[in-house]
Chain A
Amino acid sequence: MRPPLLNEQSKPGLQAVAFPVTNDPVDLPAEHRRQTPAPLPEVAEVDVVRHFTILSKDNFSVDTHFYPLGSCTMKYNPKVNEYVSALPGFAQLHPLQPASHAQGAMRLIFELEQMLGEICGMDAFTLQPAAGAHGELTGMLIARAAHLARGKPRRKVLVPSSAHGTNPASARLAGFQIVTVPGAPDGLLHPDQVAPLIDEDTAAIMLTNPNTLGVFEEHILEIARMAHEKGALLYYDGANLNALLGLCRPGDMGFDIVHVNLHKTFSTPHGGGGPGAGPVGVKKHLAPFLPSPRAQQNPDGSFSWQHNLPQSIGKMRAFHGNFSVLARAYAYIRALGWEGLRAASRAAIIHANYIKKQLEDKFPAYTNRPCMHECVLMANHLKEAGLTVRDIAKRILDYGYHAPTIAWPIHDCLMIEPTETESKETLDAFISAMRKVAREIETESYTLQHAPHHMPIQRVDEVKAARELRLRD
């Protein structure tokens, strides 16, 4: 039996939290008054606590399970960051208090911008964007504004076919036409693929490096040269930055604009889908276009907001970003320093290559090159067995592991990102589970088709969900 919803446990008159209202009449014209009370549940506190505690146990999470979800960097989220980000000195701060009341928070913002600049090789950062895609939109609006300021608006943005869906969606929201760069069999972007597509109307090229196939774009310097020669900007989707900490920096590769996902590389928890943060860094020539306001340090060492930014694109959201997420990332970087960051990327790369090598005979790698922090493996021969890559994903859940990312960036693939925070024992156990699944593909297709079998529920009917659309009680 599945747990009942709270609405189904509702009993008239119950209330977990009450407020000391008086019976004074409320002076409010009828046209502004709610006619019928909102139909919220009427339950006791214990009902609420049991309900959500029971629900929480139906989740996989990094705290409970290995989560080798490619592109998502599901690394361990240190508990100390939860504690420090929720300190009352931060949690109870109102964003419109005068700067003199918020010097600690502003120092944190200012220093985090500086540290991200050092890590990425960029000159200036904004912490306003709330997630990666929000950062992409910010970056694309900066590109748009920069070309306009040069007096030559440009219409096109080049996006590789392997790019994450947010890349083309963000560029289009910023008003650009998308030109898709096809993929090459070796998984790399080649200058001769870019050459016929780039021209004086190209505003930017959006790249992920390492790319979503887990390999380092070796021709990046040449591609940067080509872009800049045409006056186009190079945009870095930092979703895969966890491979590069202390190894190399997007700024040095020639990227003009980068976003980083603090909820990936900098260990802030994913929260079941958010909140994250997607700070955007730019080279000096683009700094005037960053969103407003910007944190600045005054000659006396104090911090203030700079609002007078005539070339700024404007505001991407209200106030100063997902501050408590920023505080977690700040704490993470301060704890690790360069040594720790370098150790993290090194371990992430070794782990991914280890898994790739141990599984290659069963699930061949998409390319023979060494991978970076994640590997893309192919599930071949599924059709013959009447299976899809989704069946594999569902079966992996039965073994107690979250599924890898599947069917992206190419069909029938498994994108595995172990991260640095897993022990060799965990990796070995996962490898052995994957090998069992490989055997099951050959001999037990029925088991896979109906997987999972050991989860709180059996496979869900997604078609019914979309057809019948029950989106609320």
Chain B
Amino acid sequence: MDFVPNSEAEFAAMLQASGVSSFDDLVSCIPAKLKEFRSRLPAPLTEMELVMEMEKLAASNRTSRQVLSFLGAGIYDHFIPPAVDALASRGEFVTAYTPYQAEASQGTLTAIYEYQSYLCAITGMEVSNASLYDGASAVAEAGFLSLQANSNRPRIVHAASLHPEYLATLQTYLAGQKAEFVSAPLKDGVLDLDALAGLVNPRTCALIVQSPNFHGCLEPMAQAADIAHRHGAFFVACVNPISLGLIRPPGEYNADFAVGEGQPLGCPMSFGGPGFGFLTSTKKLVHKISGRIVGQTVDENNQRSFCLTLQAREQHIRREKATSNICSNQALMALRACIHLALLGKRGFQQVAQLNHQRAHAAAAAICGLRGFSLAFKQPFFNEFTIRCPVPSADLLARLEKENLIPGLAVADPNAKSSNLLLVCVTETKTSDDIQRLVKALAAFSTP
């Protein structure tokens, strides 16, 4: 199968019109020895065979429809209104290119402008770009921007509670830069502010803190931001966007960058991608941020129009002097987020956050009612929390897998060889029946 809509007769006519007698004449510039290679691919499939093959592959996964899962840790199972799919799957959006030709791209451009507006609304920040790859790379971009904007400040301090994959990405991205990474220790699941004050210094370009953090706890963001600012460092807040219907947004504690993973806003889990990274900042830093930005302007008739702007920051203009190397982003996922936020609106956005909070707290209370189970940290949380179990969490997971139940993620315990810690996520999609089933299953492990 191929998708070529011309006949051999038409190819012959085009070749002749091009002044050559065969296709080989067009590719005679390729050294002959390069054309002699042997390699194998599976035989082509008809569309029907392909669909059957792909359905078989998909069916051999056990998904959140077959398994009751309380996994979170960066990717979350949230309700996605069907209108998101209906609108975001329109070919006019899906098969468009980057909107460099503004007059042929007002649909995409207007939607990105609205996306930027909504991201500013939920984070409380002043400006937003049009998206980055994912939450982890957004943290890395913020780290790089902080390094660039603060020469002679090579130190990046991050809370030890940053998602381990985000930290790994940050360190990988910046391996070629003269950056030094310092991990700020925790006390009872959140930053130890006294210790932090001793680690942030005038050589620090950024303090990166995630809240809710990897353990589910809400960090003392305002105090951490103050410590960063006291030394002239940027404060980078990494946040879960869906939490912001309830939780204090980065704009309210003067973050310089608010970044994170946008998947909870209308994107399926899809084995971890694509979601999108978001990056918001302050007006003051707008010329230094990375990624595409849409601005409002007018056309020759003075009608409101939108176009990409501040492109002098970007690689296609500035090459190695650009603020980042990013070109393609995750536009279609940002569109999904835009539609999702519009559908939820002011009230729905608050409700979904409240419902996450309610259900997670109901689950936590019920689990902690079981003998031997307790909250690992006495900290406020949103929709994720760490439980200390009476048995190693890996054993618990292995036993419940047979019951098609994933009670959470087994996470390491820095103070013990084998860990009894379990990170549990309860979103609005978990009903009270689901929570009861979880509690009942855990009860089997409870100490007598």
Proximity string of chain A (117-129) to chain B, C-beta cutoff 8 Å, 1 when within and 0 when not: 0110100000000
User: How many residues on A have C-beta within 8 angstroms of the other chain's C-beta atoms?
Assistant: 204
Q: Is the CB of B44 within 8 A of A335?
A: yes
Q: Which residues, 21 to 77 on B, are CB-close (under 8 Å) to A?
A: 23, 25-31, 34-35, 37, 39-47, 50-51, 53-65, 67, 69, 71, 73-75, 77
Q: How far is the CA of A226 from the CA of B47 in the complex (A)?
A: 46
Q: Is the CB of B136 within 8 A of A315?
A: yes
Q: Is A238 an interface residue (CB 8 A)?
A: no
Interface segment among B168-176, B367-375, B435-443: the answer is B168-176
Q: Is A340 an interface residue (CB 8 A)?
A: yes
Proximity string of chain A (72-99) to chain B, C-beta cutoff 8 Å, 1 when within and 0 when not: 1011111010111011111111111110
Q: Is B144 an interface residue (CB 8 A)?
A: yes
- Whether A67 touches B57, Cβ cut-off 8 Å, given contacts A59-B108, A131-B133, A466-B309, is no
Interface segment among A189-197, A214-222, A434-442: the answer is A214-222
Q: Is the CB of B41 within 8 A of A331?
A: no
Q: Is B307 an interface residue (CB 8 A)?
A: yes
Q: How far is the CA of A353 from the CA of B183 in the complex (A)?
A: 57
- Our pick among A19, A313, A397 for the contact of B355 (Cβ within 8 Å) is A19
Interface segment among B198-206, B225-233, B314-322, B414-422: the answer is B314-322
Q: Which residues of B contact A215 (CB under 8 A)?
A: 29
CB distance from B213 to the nearest CB of A (A): 12
Q: Which residues of A contact B295 (CB under 8 A)?
A: 465-466, 468-471
- Our pick among A323, A346, A421 for the contact of B273 (Cβ within 8 Å) is A323
Write the chain A residue with the least CB distance to B97. A270
Q: Is the CB of A96 within 8 A of B73?
A: yes
Q: Is A171 an interface residue (CB 8 A)?
A: yes
- Whether A263 touches B348, Cβ cut-off 8 Å, given contacts A319-B271, A320-B271, A465-B307, is no
Q: Which residues of A contact B330 (CB under 8 A)?
A: 130, 271, 274-275, 322
Q: Is B81 an interface residue (CB 8 A)?
A: yes
Q: Is B159 an interface residue (CB 8 A)?
A: no
Q: Is the CB of A346 within 8 A of B23?
A: yes
- Whether A134 touches B133, Cβ cut-off 8 Å, given contacts A450-B300, A469-B309, A472-B127, is yes
- Our pick among A49, A55, A171, A275 for the contact of B110 (Cβ within 8 Å) is A55
Q: Is A458 an interface residue (CB 8 A)?
A: yes
Q: How far is the CA of A247 from the CA of B165 in the complex (A)?
A: 39
- Our pick among B67, B69, B116, B137 for the contact of A134 (Cβ within 8 Å) is B137
Proximity string of chain A (431-453) to chain B, C-beta cutoff 8 Å, 1 when within and 0 when not: 00000000000000000001010
- Our pick among A17, A75, A473 for the contact of B348 (Cβ within 8 Å) is A17
Q: Is the CB of B77 within 8 A of A94?
A: yes
Write the chain A residue with the least CB distance to B125. A472
Q: Is the CB of A273 within 8 A of B177?
A: no
Q: How far is the CA of A324 from the CA of B123 in the complex (A)?
A: 28
- Whether A92 touches B65, Cβ cut-off 8 Å, given contacts A16-B345, A105-B271, A273-B97, is yes
Q: Is A64 an interface residue (CB 8 A)?
A: yes
Q: Which residues of A contact B102 (CB under 8 A)?
A: 457, 460, 462
Write the chain B residue with the least CB distance to A462. B307
Q: Is the CB of B343 within 8 A of A48?
A: yes
- Our pick among A64, A169, A253 for the contact of B34 (Cβ within 8 Å) is A253
- Whether A43 touches B345, Cβ cut-off 8 Å, given contacts A314-B171, A319-B273, is yes
Which residue of B69, B261, B299, B352 has the most chain A CB atoms within 10 A of its CB atom? Answer: B299
- Whether A38 touches B3, Cβ cut-off 8 Å, given contacts A101-B67, A141-B175, A458-B299, is no
Q: How far is the CA of A357 from the CA of B15 in the complex (A)?
A: 10
Q: Is the CB of B348 within 8 A of A16?
A: yes
- Our pick among B55, B261, B293, B303 for the contact of A457 (Cβ within 8 Å) is B303
Q: Which residues of A contact B67 (CB under 8 A)?
A: 97, 101
Q: Which residues of B contact A358 (CB under 8 A)?
A: 17
Q: Is the CB of A218 within 8 A of B31?
A: yes
- Our pick among A104, A292, A338 for the contact of B58 (Cβ within 8 Å) is A104
Write the chain A residue with the least CB distance to B55. A87
Q: How far is the CA of A458 from the CA of B298 in the complex (A)?
A: 9
- Whether A21 touches B91, Cβ cut-off 8 Å, given contacts A102-B271, A173-B325, is no
Q: Is the CB of A324 within 8 A of B273?
A: yes
- Whether A402 touches B345, Cβ cut-off 8 Å, given contacts A350-B14, A460-B297, is no
CB distance from B223 to the nearest CB of A (A): 9
Write the chain A residue with the least CB distance to B57. A104
- Whether A424 touches B41, Cβ cut-off 8 Å, given contacts A78-B3, A101-B62, A316-B137, is no
Q: Is the CB of A176 within 8 A of B54?
A: no
Q: How far is the CA of A24 from the CA of B355 in the complex (A)?
A: 10
Proximity string of chain A (377-394) to chain B, C-beta cutoff 8 Å, 1 when within and 0 when not: 000000000000000011
Q: Is A308 an interface residue (CB 8 A)?
A: no
- Whether A118 touches B39, Cβ cut-off 8 Å, given contacts A319-B272, A460-B103, is yes
Q: How far is the CA of A424 from the CA of B15 in the complex (A)?
A: 12
Q: Which residues, 319 to 352 on B, are CB-close (under 8 Å) to A?
A: 319-322, 324-333, 335, 339, 341-352
- Whether A49 touches B354, Cβ cut-off 8 Å, given contacts A7-B117, A61-B92, is no
Q: Is the CB of A100 within 8 A of B92?
A: no
Proximity string of chain A (154-165) to chain B, C-beta cutoff 8 Å, 1 when within and 0 when not: 000000000011
Q: Is the CB of B47 within 8 A of A119?
A: no
Q: Is the CB of B171 within 8 A of A93?
A: no
Q: Is B235 an interface residue (CB 8 A)?
A: no
- Our pick among A15, A88, A108, A393 for the contact of B63 (Cβ within 8 Å) is A88
Q: Which residues, 13 to 31 on A, are CB-close (under 8 Å) to B?
A: 13-22, 24, 26-29, 31
- Whether A92 touches B286, Cβ cut-off 8 Å, given contacts A34-B246, A318-B169, is no
Q: Is B301 an interface residue (CB 8 A)?
A: yes
Proximity string of chain B (272-284) to chain A, C-beta cutoff 8 Å, 1 when within and 0 when not: 1110100000000
- Whether A21 touches B354, Cβ cut-off 8 Å, given contacts A315-B169, A317-B169, A324-B274, is yes
Q: Is the CB of B99 within 8 A of A273?
A: yes
Interface segment among B5-13, B149-157, B384-392: the answer is B5-13
Proximity string of chain B (156-198) to chain A, C-beta cutoff 8 Å, 1 when within and 0 when not: 0000000101101101110111000000000000000000000
Interchain residue pairs with CB less than 8 A apart (7): A40-B121, A42-B345, A61-B96, A62-B95, A271-B94, A339-B2, A397-B103
Chain A to chain B: the 4 pairs with minimum beta-carbon distance, closest first? A175-B176, A89-B58, A319-B272, A271-B332
Given A64-B91, A92-B77, A457-B103, list of 9 further CB < 8 A pairs? A3-B110, A7-B114, A26-B354, A33-B246, A82-B94, A97-B71, A340-B44, A402-B101, A464-B298
